[in-house]
Amino acid sequence: MPVLKDRMNQTEKSALARQLSAEESRQLSQLRAQRRAHRQQQLLKAPEARVQVKETAPTRGQRLADGVAATIGSWRFIALQSTAIVIWIAGNVLSGKSAWDPYPFILLNLLLSFQAAYTAPAIMMSQNRQSELDRRHAETDYEINVKAELEIELLHEKIDLMKECELLELTQAVRDLSARLEALSGQPPVFVPPDAG
């Protein structure tokens, strides 16, 4: 079997050599060598990446940060907060001198500042966690794409090998038919082999 594979590889290489110039062949072999080296490097890194991709359950703090980010990043929250601010301002303006937070609305500013001070870090924690998950998923997708590329390249090589074998069989059949015709007619064969062209 290895002898047959070597012979097929030799025939495949000779067919490519006939089709490509010397410079193109050199560049193609360099490109294939670089891709194989890159794939080998990725396969060596793959076990480490698989260990990292294993997702753990989020901690209580991470779940809280995700909940805060989901709540504050919704139209419902914006509508509720806007309504509460309008009610706060209207209540203080209509109360006149007995307002609990008169016109510059210092207490309202303080409450909104507290809200911003605590929600911004929670949102950042949630975004950092999400970006880490996205990075892990991107690495996994990259590994899958590399494997798919390898499989596609192997399929291309198999198809090229099958074409080459079929071409060799057809060439041999034409030679056999030419020899039979020569034997029957007593004339030399007209067929010119592809190697001579």
At 84 the pLDDT is: 96
Q: Quick check: is 27 in a domain?
A: yes
Residue 107 contacts by C-beta under 8 Å, 6 or more apart in sequence? 100, 101
Q: Residue 101 and residue 84: Cα distance in Å, rounded?
A: 14
Do the beta carbons of residue 140 and residue 53 sit within 8 Å? yes
**49/139: higher pLDDT:** 139
Residue corresponding to tokens 């706060």: 88
Q: Quick check: is 48 in a domain?
A: yes
47-82 b/e with 16+ CB inside 10 Å = b? eeeeeeeeeeeeeeeeeebbebbeebeeeeeeeeee
Residue 20 pLDDT exceeds 60: no
Domain, as residue range, for 43: 20-54
Report pLDDT digits (tens) over 28-84: 677 777 777 777 776 676 555 454 556 678 899 889 999 999 999 899 999 999 999
39 exposure class (CB count in 10 Å sphere: 0-12, 13-18, 19+): middle
Q: Quick check: is 38 in a domain?
A: yes
Q: Quick check: is 165 in a domain?
A: no
Q: Residue 31 and residue 8: Cα distance in Å, rounded?
A: 21
Q: Quick check: is 50 in a domain?
A: yes
Number of structural domains (the chain) is 1
Residue 92 tokens, joined? 């203080």
Q: Quick check: is 35 in a domain?
A: yes
Q: Quick check: is 34 in a domain?
A: yes
**82/184: higher pLDDT:** 82
Q: Quick check: is 121 in a domain?
A: no
